[in-house]
Amino acid sequence: MSRFLTGNLGAFTDMLGFSEIGPALLAASDDGYNVIVGSTPAKPDLFTSYADHPRKLVHLGAHLQSTAAGKFQILEHIFDFYKAKLHLTDFRPESQERIAQRMISERIGAMAAISAGRVEDAIVAVRTLWASLPGAGYGQREVALDELEQAYLDAGGIISPS
């Protein structure tokens, strides 16, 4: 379960970390909070200071580059926006969780779906925010819905019966 959030919301953010980082890299890092995009379990690229977003541009292929970092793979410019909006002073795990929670809350119906245990509806509501979610459409690896639901349950979330 999330260190900072409880209930279904904590389980949902843990599921996002599972989706974005993967279980092996979560275990090889500070629960994903210090992971730089492009990391693998065999070759983790981890940052050591939470004073600020690492601001590292990583080339992931001929036509793809990213500054994503942390458990939720937050882009540098997204961090800068929410840092000001939420009056954050750093990129600590708590700050990353607050950003993820705010991003989720800004999507219509997402928080209500999470509270009600409608995980699939919540994923649909936020899928364009995280490339690893099914249906995100960024041409990157997308994690299957059944794997995400299991990660959510493993993190203590409750799924409402259909």
CB neighbour list of residue 81: distance below 8 Å, 6 or more residues apart: none
Cβ count near 155 (within 10 Å): 18
20 annotated active-site: yes
Q: Is 157 exposed, middle or buried (0-12, 13-18, 19+ CB in 10 A)?
A: buried
Number of residues that make up the chain? 162
Could you tell me the two tokens for 13? Answer: 């953010």
DSSP secondary structure letter of residue 123: H
**Which one from 20, 76, 106, 149 is the annotated catalytic residue?**
20
Do residues 107 and 125 lie in contact, with contact meaning Cβ atoms separated by under 8 Å?
yes
DSSP secondary structure letter of residue 120: H
Positions marked catalytic = 20
